[in-house]
Amino acid sequence: MSSIRYYKLFDMLARRGYKKTDLKLEVGFSTVTVAKLSKGESVTTDTILRICERFDVQPGDIMEYVPDED
């Protein structure tokens, strides 16, 4: 199954000196939302928008579409 990966988000955070848990403070996310991002699970477009606004990035800067290997 195709998926969206958020490794770019966590790479960007690390470059800027943030940890995954800082998303809770910086953007006001719950632990569940941060866990979903970490696991590559589905999140809302509002979640993506809030990250983009807070860190001044585009969606493609923080996530990547990964197609099936079929």
Residue-range domains of the chain with CATH: 3-65 (1.10.260.40)
DSSP character string of 1-66:
--EEE-HHHHHHHHHTT--TTHHHHHH---HHHHHHHHHT----HHHHHHHHHHHT--HHHH-EEE
- The mean predicted confidence, pLDDT, of the chain is 94
Question: Which residues partner with 64 through β-bridges?
Answer: 5
Q: Does residue 69 register a pLDDT over 90?
A: no
pLDDT band at 68; cut points 50, 70, 90: confident
pLDDT at 5: 95
pLDDT at 6: 96
Q: Does residue 70 register a pLDDT over 80?
A: no
Quickly tell me which residue has 């809030």 as its tokens: 50
pLDDT band at 40; cut points 50, 70, 90: very high
pTM over 0.75: yes
